Amino acid sequence: NAGVTQTPKFQVLKTGQSMTLQCAQDMNHEYMSWYRQDPGMGLRLIHYSVGAGITDQGEVPNGYNVSRSTTEDFPLRLLSAAPSQTSVYFCASSYDRATEAFFGQGTRLTVV
Amino acid sequence: KNEVEQSPQNLTAQEGEFITINCSYSVGISALHWLQQHPGGGIVSLFMLSSGKKKHGRLIATINIQEKHSSLHITASHPRDSAVYICAVRSGGAQKLVFGQGTRLTINP
């Protein structure tokens, strides 16, 4: 099993550009979430989903959109990139909220 | 004050030493996670626990619900244990995990 797969691993964007970070899992997990990791801070929740067709906002949702059309995929869209969105992004999934979380390898995004 | 506090923030030790990393939290929880992150790498789940103690190889995790405190121990530490160790909690009915800032562990040969 591949687990949780994130693409790309690295990305450089210019301010104002848009892009989509991909996240896919092959474990039939209902729960999926996106976090960002910044120096000196713990991981912070951006958006999460408890199943296909259901998404909700986390702590820091501004500037990001998500959708969950299938159980497997949970893409994160940056609508108009800003330097404040320079960060490392992690996607995670779990069977439900009471079980172990599996993380992707991360996407290091730089906005210039 | 953060909901999840880890100590120490940085820890350097010699190979073979017994390591303890602490995590204190201020909310009622349904589960606590210990995670490991190698430099430039992804995040791996080490333990998920809601009571008592769990052991996996040289790693031991304990939790005291009454004191709102958990510890991660590493016995016979090795340079490959060098990583950032992250504590995260899930409160009662919450959908999200709340993360500590991490403890950077360096084991010198």
Residues of B in contact with A59 (CB under 8 A): 96
Residues of B in contact with A95 (CB under 8 A): none
Report pLDDT digits (tens) over A17-42: 999 999 999 999 999 999 999 988 88
Residue B93 pLDDT exceeds 80: no
Size of the A and B interface in Cβ pairs below 8 Å: 57
Q: Which residue has the higher pLDDT, B93 or B7?
A: B7
- A 21-80: CB under 8 A from B: 31, 33, 35, 40-45, 48, 50, 56, 58-59
Among residues B26, B33, B21, the alpha carbon closest in space to that of B4 is found at: B26
Beta bridge partners of B98: B89
pLDDT at B10: 96
Facing residue for B48 by CB, picked from A41, A44, A100: A100
* H, E, C per residue of chain B: CCCEEEECCEEEEECCCCEEEEEEECCCEEEEEEEEECCCCCEEEEEEECCEEEEECCEEEEEECCCCEEEEEECCCCHHHCEEEEEEEEECCCCCCEECCCEEEEEEC
Residues of A in contact with B86 (CB under 8 A): 42-43
Quick one: tokens of A71?
């159980």
Residue B9 pLDDT exceeds 90: yes
pLDDT-based confidence at A99, cuts 50/70/90? confident
pLDDT at B87: 96
Burial of A74 (0-12, 13-18, 19+ CB in 10 A): buried
Residue B96 pLDDT exceeds 80: no
Mean pLDDT confidence for A5-28: 96
Residue A11 pLDDT exceeds 70: yes
pLDDT-based confidence at B94, cuts 50/70/90? low
pLDDT at B92: 65
Report pLDDT digits (tens) over B18-59: 999 999 999 888 899 999 999 877 899 999 999 999 999 999
Facing residue for A42 by CB, picked from B45, B90, B101: B101
pLDDT at A89: 97
DSSP A14-39: -TT--EEEEEEESS--SEEEEEEE-T
Alpha-carbon distance values, A3 to A70, A91, B19, B67 (Å): 16, 11, 30, 35
